[in-house]
Structure 1
Amino acid sequence: MRFWLVLQQLALILILIITTDALNNNNETDHVSLLAMKSKIFDPFGGGALSSWNESSHFCNWEGVLCGKRHKRVTRIRLSSLGLSGTLSPHVGNLTFLRRLVLYNNTFHGEIPNEIGGLYRLKLLALEANSFHGRIPASLSHCSNLVDLFIGYNNLVGTIPEEFSSLSMLKEISVHENNLTGGIPKSLGNITSLELFSAGGNLFGGTIPNNLGQLKNLIFLSLDYNQISGTIPSSLYNISHLNVLSLAFNDLHGSLPSYIGNMFPHLEFLQLQVNNFTGQLPNSIGNLTKVKWLSFNKNEFSGKLTVDFSKLVNLVILRLQLNSLGSGDFDEMHFLESLTNCSSLEILNIFSNKLKGVLPDFVGNLSSNIHFFALAGNQLQGRIPPTIGNLVNLSLLDLSNNRFTRPIPSTIGKLQKLQRFSLAQNQLSGTIPDSIGNLSLVNDLYFSINNLEGTIPSSISNCQRLIALGLEQNNLSGTIPKELFQISSLSILLNLSHNQLSGPLPSEIGELKSLVALDISNNNDLSGEIPGSISSCTSLEFLFLEGNMLQGSIPMSMEFMRGLQFLDLSSNNLSGQIPTFLEKLPLINLNLSFNYFNGELPLHGAFANSTSVSVYGNDKLCGGIPSLQLPRCPIKKLNRNFFFSSKRIYAIVGTSILGILILISSLVFYFRKRKRESTTTLELLPKESFVQISYGELLNATDGFSSNNLIGTGGFGFVYKGVLDQIGDVAIKVLNLVNPGATRSFIAECKALKNIRHRNLVKIVTCCSSIDFQGNEFKALVYELMMNGNLEKWLHPSQDTSRPEFNLLQCLRVAIDVASALDYLHYQCEPTVIHCDLKPSNILLDQQMVAHVGDFGLARLFHPEMGISHHSTSMGVIGTVGYAAPEYGLGSEMSMKGDVYSYGVLLLEMLTGKRPTDLMFVDGLNIRNFTSQVLTGNVIEIVMDPVILNGDIVIGQRDNCLIAMVKIALACSEELPQNRMNMTDVVRELQHIKKVMFK
């Protein structure tokens, strides 16, 4: 008996020894796995988060690592928002005790390793806000204890794995803001534990699966910004616990069931905007008593709005714009009375519907919190009720494009927080009330296209934050008050055209130094000369003075209006010769018709194109280009003795000989240089093979390099659109080899792009260096075609192109895309690539408005051992004026910090809509300190681009977003390179802004 007892004790000791050894081995496995992970991670701060991951302490004490108390195995890794980059090592799959892996808000790239599926104890996987690409690994379905899966804000592609249906404990799936395709898997309906499914901002198509209605625990469902079609399945209305239902920005259609408001007692956010829904808005919407946000805008809803909103006491935002709501009944607007009970209401947007009837007096009883009220684009009539003055917190009031009559109520003077105010395109009469001067914060004021009369009140000069004023097409009379020209904030538009204004243009007009567009045309009784002081309006791009009685000559001082693009002086009494300085201005359109100009017409600039200039009705003009069909000018007789002076003959002959010698030496130098460059080209072109495309194929692809296919020009060549049989649509950059730097640019771009691939970089198809059919050297680069052109055309469209919508969210997305590209070039490439010429024209936008950085013709490569390459660009300052870092002008070496500076300027340009070379930036003012005003005062509406300020976002939230972006831009564009952010931090901060502001 004693023998067996001793034997049992020995056995227990042996088991304990074996178990201890196994645990020690497993501990070592964790140790090795963590070090393997560290080897794949780049920590830009050096001694930062991973500095403690070394042998001086046990791995359980490393930063971001948590171990279990019993077995000392790794159970948690949390390395969020630390600016880390690199890839996620497959060794993570060996951490078999891991329950939480949190890496969100960094810049990790590469694929999510399949080995992660070995973490069968894993409950939380948070990889959001990184740059992971590739497919979602189906092996995650082996993580049977997984509860929360957050992989949004990455670059993932493919579909959601069907295998996820086996994850019986899964509560949250977040895959939003990726590039996922396919449909929403029906198998998700089997995960009955699911509480959150966020899949917005992808490329999902198909329909909403009917069996999603089985998810009885679902609280949050977001499928917005996809390509989902069909109708909302009836089963979805059975998910009674929903707090958020967002199906916006899809292709859904059909009508909403009459019972929809009875099915969601907990619903707080219902977002159905930008779809194709039809029919009447169901009355049961009035039963969504918890709702805070209702968005039905931009659909095809119609009929009378009979919803009783009085029970929606939590309602903050109601968006109904861009539908066909309306019936024509006398009580059409009665629904507004029920909205007076919604004491939390802040935004009410009903513009562009078919509402008729009158605006009732009880509109003044709406929530005291309302700051956005838009009824524009309806058919409302009668007076504007004076009670509108009760809405004292309004920052936007838009009643334009209706049929309102009678005078403007003086009570509008109570709306002292108004920033945007429009009554344009109505039938208002009477005078502009003096109380308009109380609107000291107003930025945009439009009373155009009405029947207003009387004078322009001088009290308007109190509106010292005005940036745009439209009073055109009324019956205003009297002189233009000089006080109007003393509103120095006017920077976008001043339009007084088509009135009955009289008298001279005040000399104070020159005080509008920041104004871009001035239209005082067609007033008939405006007289006197054009003031010479107008030349101080150095920001003017549009000047319309036609249809008046102006006289005298064109002031010579206008030579300094170097930004002028459109000038119309037609139908006046102007006289004298047309000054030749107009040739030097960047005029796109010049109209001088029906005046009394005389003498010879200039030949250059706008005068060289008959479609750009008009001079009809000036009978004493002569010369000009033949297509203008003006009479020839008289030939001036010259002194015959001039040609027979021996001194002049010697001078002419000597000058000719000297010129010939210079020409010959230049040609010899040029051809020697071309020969050297041709030899260099063969040596420096990348050895890696691109797609082989011949000169003949490129010729056919572009219809013989037809001007119809020309889509851009640059410093080193021309860009054509083409179609190649084996590839499809492409952009072809043909180098102009007469330019001395073209060959170097070609080599630099081929070398820079030969091995790099990133979602936000332009993909090069091939570098083509050959001989054309005439035996001439031919070099071209072939890229993938970007369907939405370059960012320059979105920020600064030409006059014949309407300004495209480029709202704050799009701006933020482009900013993140460009920053991600630079972060990749700076920290994830071998060798490092320094772009050296970042600007809007070098940022291309694809069909989904994803930004791609292109044009690497000035790029430099940085090898740690060899330093920065110098053969890749021409000599001199690198980059473009306004975007190039200041240290480059002092001869400093090109660096990543120079790219950061250019990025900062680019971001400021996107936010303000102004080029860094804008003529307003003089006397120490530049785009940086101009924008910095946002941080020191309440000037967001003045500084920021008005297009950026539009969009579906609460103004306070919008302003916070703008301020945060401005701070980043300013930190990037610091004068001293060492004070600038790095692109890794920029990406992280911008992604955080997007996550917080645009949930």
Structure 2
Amino acid sequence: MDHSNHRNISSRMELRIICPRTFWSLILLAFLLPCTKCIGIGSPALGNETDRLALIAFKDLIYDDPSGILSSWNDSFHFCKWEGVTCGRRHPQRVTALNLMSSGLVGPISPHIANLTFLRSINLSGNSFHDEIPREFGRLFRLRVLDLSDNGLQGGIPDDLSNCSEIRPILLDKNKLVGRIPVKLSSLSKLERLYLGRNNLVGNIPSQLGNLSSLVSLSLRDNSFEGSIPNELGRLVKLQFLQISANNLSGLIPPSVYNLSSIIGISMVTNRLHGNLPANLGLTLPNLQKLLLSTNAFTGQIPFSLPNASGFSMVDFSYNKFSGPVPENLGRLKDLRILNLANNNVGGGEGEDDLSFLTSLINCSHLEVLELSSNQLRGVLPATIFNLSTHMIELGLGGNPISGSIPTDISNLFKLNKLWISETFIMGTIPNGVGKLQNLEGLYLYSNRLSGRIPSAIGNITGLAILSLYENRLQGRIPLSLGNCRLETLSLRRNELNGTIPKEVFSIPSLVEVEIGENPLVGSLPLEVGNLQRLRYLHAAYNKLTGEIPSTVRNCLSMEFLILSNNLFQGAIPLGLNNLKGIKLLDLSHNNLSGHIPVTLEKFPVLEYLDLSSNNLNGPVPTEGVFKNSTKFSVLRNKELCGGVPQLRLPACPEKAPKKHGMSISLRVIISMVSVVLGLILSSFLFATLFRVRRKANERPLPAFSLEGQFLNVSYADLFKATGGFSLDNLIGVGSYGSVYKGVLDHDQTCVAVKVFNLQQRGASRSFMVECEALRNIRHRNLVKIITACSSIDFEGNEFKALVFEYMPNGSLEKWLHPSVHGKQELWSLNLIQRLDIAIDVASALEYLHHHCHMQVIHRDLKPSNVLLDPALIAPKK
């Protein structure tokens, strides 16, 4: 074949890759343009049209252009003036650069870009291009820059890119590329930067990459590469940055890498690498500034030669197995910004002060992050710790056997954003100076031995998001000033905090997690809990909270974990809980809740565990939802429940009486009215007759009686033992000023009722004295007999006051008049004569208190629950 034929074949092949519209445009030009010779494919005029049509073909595949970047790509402007298009100086009609970075474009990349044969730079980064990288890019022989990073490109890396011999950077990071790194890329002798990070690439790192003699930066982070690091990377003598983090690489770092004297930054975090670092690392890598090796399995000591690389700014060895002392000479690193040694085994010297190196770090005037948590560092926390760099934003010392106290001049670190001194032996108080750390967002002082009060000055840190003080010995009240903070997490559990829960705290709308359990907190759960629409976790168990569970909790629509167990809550389970559709754990056990179990609890779609045990609930147990599986809920120690799944072995619920038909409504009303009238007449007659008989019996005056000198001497320990430690199982009632427990006195096995006064309730102490004075000289057969009183100190040194009464085994009149539906109606029913007897007994007791007592006594709380019945159903009144 001669050369002329060869040229014709080449022309025909080139025409096949242009669109039909281009072909007819060329035919039209051939007829309209007055020329003396044919227009060749390589002529300037044809090149001009080829580039324009290639750009139009690229635009045609873009189906979303939210910023209108391509709106200028029309015939009103020459294509060299289109947005993002640059033409050359030597060839002013040819496109040399296409830069559409961060334009929001969506669509595939057109292969027609390959017709822009003078193209030297392509930058399409920061868009939403998808599908594969066109293989035709390999025909761009003049291409020097290819930046397709931060898109959604898929498929593999084309081998054809190896034909672009002039290319310097290949930037394909932050895409969805798959497959292996093409070995052919190793032929690109001028390649300086190869960024393939944050893709889905697999396989080994090709050893042939060691042939890229001009390579300065290699980033393979966040892929799924496995195997070992190739020793051949040590041949990359110009390499300055090596980033291979977040892969599955294993083995040792090749010794050849430690000889890359030009290297500035190494990042190998989150792999499975192991071994020791060479002792002379700071000498062989003198230009090293960043060494990031966290989350691997490196062992041995931290090289003392590190400060020889005087330009060090970042050292991150966290989450490894380094041991031994921390080098004392780290203070020589004047530019050090980050030192992270957390979660290793450094320190642990016998009889040594492992914290002495901290003093040298005062010379690191640019230090921003110092993380030493979760190691074996021993010693007393030096006061100089807060003379560190004023640029410090993060300080972590937790999880070490450190002793001492928090220095009072903590406010020197005024830029501090996070302070973590937890799980140590730190004692003393939280200094007020912490309130001057206005940039603080996270304060972690949990699991220490801190005491004293929570400083109200913490409320000055309005941007505080996390306050974690649990498992200490903090006392006093929860500061109201915390309501000034933008808290998301508040953890105060397992302390000795007392008083009530400030409503100001439950008025912080940003709260997500609240832990205030295991404190002797009293009072009610504030209604303001309903303000916390973002609240996911509330732990207030093991306190002394009273009252009803607020119905406003229904507004906590994000709630997932609600734990209110081991308190003194009363009343019914709020029906509003059915709003909490996302709740996973609900624990209301060990309270005084009563009423039925709401059937709506069946409908919680993601409820994993429900605990309602040790309450006073009655009625049927639901059988759907979480109630289908007896391992996912507990209703133990609720004596009046019935039904439920067979595994509960509860008695069957009584069947409801069937409705009778055939009698009109009006007839039933008439019969009912007549029955009531007749009943009232008969009752009045019997009442009058019996009252006359009983009054004659009571006309004999009662002898004067005084309990002085006849009190049984009992201690707090006696009552504690008698009531089983004031167990909730022995709790038989709760009043305004205290709780009543059933007990058995040890000395004569007398069954008694012990009324324990809640002295934290305002007026309780005065009520105790008033009752003692009133009951001292009161004696009547229809008044509950007082056995003794106890004014003492409990086992924790707190004041204790209680009254001991005779126990009434038949309970209150309330239960006989309004029996629960659980199959015992006949046992608790009262006939008419018994009801009249009880009424007369109550009247007799009131007559005595009003007219025959040494001083007039007025009972202000007369109700069936305060009328107690003895074995003979005689009504002593409490």
Q: Please indicate, yes or no, whether the TM-score normalized by the shorter chain is above 0.5.
A: yes
> C-alpha distance in 2, partners of 1:501/1:56?
77
Query: Is contact 2:87-2:97 (8 Å) kept?
Result: no
Shift of 1:332: 0.7
Q: Which residue of 1 aligns with 2:434?
A: 412
Equivalences for 1:383-394 in 2 at 5 Å? 383-394=405-416
1:40–1:86 contact (8 Å) kept in structure 2: no
The one-letter code matched in structure 1 to 2:464 is V
2:272 counterpart residue number = 251
**Structure 1 residue 24, shift from structure 2 partner:** 5.7
Letter in 2 for 1:255: N
What pairs with 1:460-475 in structure 2 (closer than 5 Å)? 460-461=482-483, 463-475=484-496
Please give the alpha-carbon distance, in whole angstroms, between the structure 1 residues aligned to 2:283 and 2:38: 61
CA 1:196–1:530: 2 relative to 1, 3 Å: closer
Deviation readout 1:470-500 (Å, 9 max, x if unpaired): 11112223x2143444532352222221122
Alignment of 1:227-238 (within 5 A): 227-238=248-259
Residues 482, 505 of structure 2: 8 Å contact kept: no
SS at match of 1:426: coil
Q: For residue 8 of structure 2, what is the aligned residue in structure 1?
A: none
Q: Determine helix, strand or coil for the equivalent of 1:404.
A: coil
Of 624, 633, 645, the residue aligned with 1:625 is 645
8 Å CA contact 2:507–2:528 kept in 1: the answer is no
Runs of 5+ consecutive residues of structure 2 not aligned to the other structure: 1-34, 666-878
Task: Note closer, same or farther for the CA distance 1:55–1:499 as it changes in structure 2 (3 Å cut).
Answer: closer
Structure 2 match to 1:454: 476
Q: Residues 450 and 231 (structure 1 numbering): CA distance in 2 closer, same or farther, change over 3 Å?
A: same
1:431 to 406, 431, 453: 453
Match of 1:658 in 2: none
Which of 138, 143, 162 is the matching residue for 1:117?
138
What is aligned with 1:489? 509
Distance 1:134 1:634, change over 3 A: closer
- 2:222 maps to 201
Structure of greater relative contact order (alpha carbons < 8 Å, 6+ residues apart): 1
Distance (Å, rounded) in 2 between the aligned partners of 1:602 and 1:26: 86
- Does the CA contact (< 8 Å) of 1:541 and 1:564 recur in 2? yes
Indicate conservation of the 8 Å contact 2:186/2:209, yes or no.
Answer: yes
- Give the counterpart letter for 1:548 in structure 2: N
Q: Which residue of the other structure, out of 582, 595, 601, is the alignment partner of 2:615?
A: 595
Task: Name the CA shift for 1:269/1:18 in 2 (closer, same or farther; >3 Å).
Answer: farther
**1:217-366 map, 5 Å:** 217-329=238-350, 330-366=352-388
Per the alignment, do residues 407 and 638 of structure 1 end up closer, same or farther by CA in structure 2, a change over 3 Å counting?
A: same
On the 8 A contact 2:434/2:457 being kept in 1, the answer is: yes
Q: Describe the shift of the 1:26–1:624 C-alpha distance in structure 2 as closer, same or farther (beyond 3 A).
A: same
2:80–2:95 contact (8 Å) kept in structure 1: no
1:550 aligns with 2:569: yes
In the other structure, the counterpart of 1:877 is none
**Partner deviation per Cα, 1:682-704 (whole Å, 9 max, x = no partner):** xxxxxxxxxxxxxxxxxxxxxxx
Alignment of 1:498 onto 2:518: yes
Secondary structure of the structure 2 residue equivalent to 1:170: coil
**Deviation string for 1:491-532 (max 9, x for gaps)?**
222222112223444555555454332222112x43344445
CA distance, structure 2, for counterparts of residue 602 and residue 527 of structure 1: 27
CA deviation profile, 1:135-160 (whole Å, cap 9, x unmatched): 33333333332222222223333333
Which residue, out of 149, 168, 172, partners 2:193?
172
Q: Which residue in the other structure is 1:31 paired with?
A: 49
Deviation at 1:191, TM superposition (A): 2.4
Q: Which amino acid aligns with 1:122?
A: L
Is the CA contact (8 Å cut-off) linking 1:258 and 1:282 kept in structure 2? yes
Deviation at 1:361, TM superposition (A): 0.8
Hey, what's the Cα distance between the residues in 1 that align with 2:112 and 2:561? 63
Moved more, 423-432 or 130-139: 130-139
AA in 2 matched with 1:517: Y
1:395 pairs, out of 388, 396, 417, with: 417
Mapping 1:153-192, distance limit 5 Å: 153-192=174-213
Partner of 2:722: none
The 5 A counterparts of 1:908-919 are none
Aligned residue number for residue 372 of structure 1: 394
Report 1:697-708 matches (<5 A): none
Partner of residue 515 from structure 1, selected from 535, 539, 550: 535
Listed as ranges, the matches of 1:456-855 within 5 Å are 456-461=478-483, 463-477=484-498, 479-489=499-509, 491-523=511-543, 525-535=544-554, 537-555=556-574, 558=577, 564-585=583-604, 587-638=607-658, 641-642=660-661
Q: 1:54–1:303: structure 2 CA closer, same or farther, 3 Å change rule?
A: same
What do residues 321-363 of structure 1 show as CA deviations (whole Å, max 9, x unaligned)? 2222222343111222222222222222222222222211111
Q: Which runs of 5+ in 1 are unaligned?
A: 1-16, 648-999
The 3 A distance-change label for structure 1 pair 73 and 101 is farther
Pairwise CA distance, 1:558: 5.0
Cα distance in 2 for partners of 1:60, 1:349 equals 54
CA contact (8 A) 2:478 2:502 kept: no
CA drift of 1:458 comes to 3.4
Query: Which AA in structure 2 matches 1:521?
Result: A
How many residues are aligned here?
Answer: 626
Whole-angstrom CA distance in 2 between matches of 1:584 and 1:345:
55
Is the Cα contact below 8 Å between 1:284 and 1:307 reproduced in 2? no
Q: What is the CA distance between 1:424 and its match in structure 2?
A: 1.0
Choose which of 140, 148, 167 in structure 1 pairs with 2:161: 140
Secondary structure of the corresponding residue to residue 321 of structure 1: coil
State whether residues 282 and 305 of structure 2, in contact with CA within 8 Å, keep that contact through their aligned partners in structure 1. Answer: yes
Q: Deviations over 1:617-657 (max 9, x none)?
A: 12222222222111123344446x43x6799xxxxxxxxxx
Whole-angstrom distance in 2 between the partners of 1:557 and 1:96:
71
Does structure 2 retain, via aligned residues, the 8 Å contact 1:559–1:585? Answer: yes
Q: Given the superposition, is the C-alpha separation of residues 343 and 557 from structure 1 closer, same or farther in structure 2, using an over 3 Å criterion?
A: same
1:421 aligns with 2:440: no
Residues 41 and 47 in structure 2, CA contact (< 8 A), matched pair in contact too:
no
> Do the aligned residues in 2 keep the contact of 1:73 with 1:97 (CA within 8 Å)?
no
| SS of structure 1 residue aligned to 2:546 | strand
Residues 476 and 497 in structure 2, CA contact (< 8 A), matched pair in contact too: yes
**For the residues of structure 2 that align with 1:579 and 1:113, how far apart are their CA atoms?**
63
Secondary structure at 1:498 match in 2:
coil
> Which residue pairs with 2:462 in the alignment?
440
For 2:493 and 2:160, the matched residues in 1 are separated by 66
Q: Is the 8 A contact 2:51 2:94 kept in 1?
A: no
Query: More deviation in 445-454 or 134-143?
Result: 134-143
What's 1:804 paired with?
none
Query: Cα distance 1:268–1:567, how it changes in 2: closer, same or farther (>3 A)?
Result: same
CA distance in 2, matches of 1:203, 1:126: 22
Letter in 1 for 2:569: L
**Which whole-Å CA distance do the structure 1 matches of 2:191 and 2:434 have between them?**
55
Distance 1:63 1:527 in 2: 71
Where does residue 891 of structure 1 map in the other structure?
none
User: Deviations for 1:941-991, whole angstroms, at most 9, x for unmatched residues?
Assistant: xxxxxxxxxxxxxxxxxxxxxxxxxxxxxxxxxxxxxxxxxxxxxxxxxxx
Q: CA deviation at 1:113?
A: 3.5
Provide closer, same or farther for how the CA distance between residues 625 and 442 of structure 1 changes in structure 2, counting only shifts above 3 A. Answer: same
* RMSD (CA atoms): 3.1
